[in-house]
Structure 1
Amino acid sequence: MSLHFPFQPDHRGRSAEADEDTHLRDMIEQVLFTIPGERVNRPDFGCGLLQLVFAPNSDTLAAALQMTVHSALQQWLGERIVVEAVTVEHDDALLAVEVQYVSRSGQDRRLARFSRGAP
């Protein structure tokens, strides 16, 4: 078992734990929504997706985001998952990313959807 992200206590008051599938999803979320430079000891960690919420919507932006997300996931989680597809939707101030991946440990195919809007 691994710690749940974001960190939180469980019903017993202990650190909440996550199963393998939930932990992988949590790690993907961390890569997607961490801005490079945000982590002190890993300044290149993340892909900076949140910085693009206010960027002009275009097919070029969506294609660039797909490549950025795919390469960041390969770089940081390539030992844990195989990224099969990344889909990016950008509508006004809403950004949604869908990641289809296979866990290297269990060979299970998963689809995870993440979205963030402007604050």
Structure 2
Amino acid sequence: MSQSSPLKAFLGKGWAFPIQPNQTDKTIAYAEGAEKVRQSIWMILQTEPKERIMRPNFGCGLRRYLMQPNNSATWAGIQRDIERALSRWEPRIKLEEVNVNGGDDPSVAMISIQYSHVQDGSRENLVFPFYLE
């Protein structure tokens, strides 16, 4: 899908996550547009509050669920924390739905996030496997 330049400008451009060299010229790789938003969501999910010195409230705090049972109570807590974190830290999206369920592996909670970009309404989804053990 080709994005117009105003949409790409709104969605942003920055270092790709994880930070890695660009394979063609060995500079830092960049991501832009919808991929940058996707990487930002991934970063929010993987960051713990107080992990960033200059922004101590940033992140989702999913590590508090490590070693918890893979059941509906744990899934509800994960869902609540994701909804709060993404609503607070990712203004480029409208969060439509967060689902957390058990996966085939009993130690994995499967997180499914549906969202749309506020600029043009295009819908995206992200699946994030979270290992409880």
State TM-score, norm by structure 2: 0.80
Residue in structure 1 matched with residue 84 of structure 2 by the alignment: 71
Q: Aligned equivalents of 1:70 and 1:97: distance in 2? A: 11
Q: Percent identity among equivalent residues?
A: 31
Unaligned runs of 5+ in 1: none
Q: Aligned equivalents of 1:90 and 1:49: distance in 2? A: 15
Q: Counterpart amino acid of 1:82?
A: K
Residue in structure 1 matched with residue 8 of structure 2 by the alignment: none
Deviations 1:81-119 (A, max 9, x none): 000000113453323211100011232100111124367
Unaligned runs of 5+ in 2: 1-12
Residue in structure 1 matched with residue 93 of structure 2 by the alignment: 81
Given that 1:2 and 1:20 are in contact with CA atoms closer than 8 Å, whether structure 2 keeps it comes out as no
Aligned residues: 118
* Equivalent position SS for 2:125: strand
Residue in structure 1 matched with residue 47 of structure 2 by the alignment: 34
Given that 1:95 and 1:115 are in contact with CA atoms closer than 8 Å, whether structure 2 keeps it comes out as yes
Runs of 4+ residues over 3 Å off in structure 1: none
Residue in structure 2 matched with residue 114 of structure 1 by the alignment: 128
State TM-score, norm by structure 1: 0.88
Superposed counterparts of 1:54-69, under 5 Å: 54-69=67-82
Q: Counterpart amino acid of 2:62?
A: L
Larger Rg: 2
